[in-house]
């Protein structure tokens, strides 16, 4: 992170960034982000993660096509999925659906082992570390999983073994003008916290 940004500032201003400048993200910064990811905890400290960095335009184009198809299938006009999104998020997410391949870098976070609800505990903390480190360095990103609709095709494209689970697709780039980080709107703590037992307030 930048020297003048504390952990809580990074957490309180982190938000999904889906529009990027075409400026390249240097390899050393990408490596720093992945290093931050590897500092996360994992079950039994097995560190079962692998991160695939994709820069090659044709490979990004193909991943982008799979992602766009997944977006269109999940959020077709009139579908319950599209209706659940606010207009602002819908516009931003649609843009990413149409322009995933324009991100300077795509990172696929992968995990070995049998996929389960609990296996996410050994990869998503690493993903969040990467996102927070990106925030600290002024790099935009967002956690996406729509690629899973075309998981087999993406695994074949990137040579990913069958026993490896693709957990998240992370586009990386410097935020486009008018898009970026800032204060987030979240439900108040008292609305999401029970004390001692379900439904009990303090």
Q: What is the pLDDT of residue 1?
A: 47
**Fold exhibited by the domain 7-192:** NADH Oxidase (3.40.109)
Spatial neighbors of 30 by CB under 8 A, at least 6 apart, are 53, 105, 107, 172
Could you tell me which residues are beta bridge partners of residue 53? Answer: 107
Going by C-beta distance under 8 Å and a sequence separation of 6 or more, which residues neighbour residue 27? none
pLDDT of residue 3: 47
What is the average per-residue pLDDT within 128-153?
Answer: 96
| 123 φ/ψ angles, rounded to the nearest 5 degrees | -130, -40
* CB distance 123 to 37 below 8 Å: no
Q: What is the mean pLDDT of the chain?
A: 91
Query: CB-based contacts of 92: which residues, under 8 Å, 6+ apart?
Result: 16, 18, 19, 179
* 180 pLDDT more than 70: yes
Boundaries of every domain in the chain: 7-192
Q: In the structure, what pLDDT confidence band is assigned to residue 36 with cuts at 50, 70 and 90?
A: very high
In whole angstroms, give the CA distance from residue 82 to residue 34. 32
Evaluate if residue 98 carries a pLDDT over 70: yes
């Amino acid at each position: 992170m930048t020297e003048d940004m504390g952990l809580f500032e990074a957490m309180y201003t982190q938000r999904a960034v889906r529009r990027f400048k075409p400026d390249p993200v240097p390899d050393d910064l990408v490596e720093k982000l992945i290093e931050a990811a590897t500092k996360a905890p994992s079950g039994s400290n097995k560190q079962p993660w692998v991160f695939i960095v994709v820069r090659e335009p044709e490979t990004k184009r193909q991943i982008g096509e799979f992602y766009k198809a997944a977006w269109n299938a999940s959020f077709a006009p009139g579908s319950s999925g599209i209706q659940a999104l606010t207009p602002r998020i819908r516009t931003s997410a649609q843009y990413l659906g149409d322009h995933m391949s324009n991100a300077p870098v795509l990172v696929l976070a992968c995990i070995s082992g049998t996929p389960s609800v609990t296996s996410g505990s050994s990869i998503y903390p690493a993903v969040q570390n990467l996102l927070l480190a990106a925030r600290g360095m002024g790099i935009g990103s967002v956690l996406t999983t729509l690629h899973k609709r075309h998981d087999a095709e993406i695994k074949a494209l990137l040579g990913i073994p069958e026993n490896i689970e693709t957990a998240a697709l992370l586009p990386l780039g410097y935020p486009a003008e008018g898009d970026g980080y800032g204060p987030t709107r979240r439900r108040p703590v008292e609305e999401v916290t029970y004390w001692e037992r379900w439904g009990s307030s303090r």
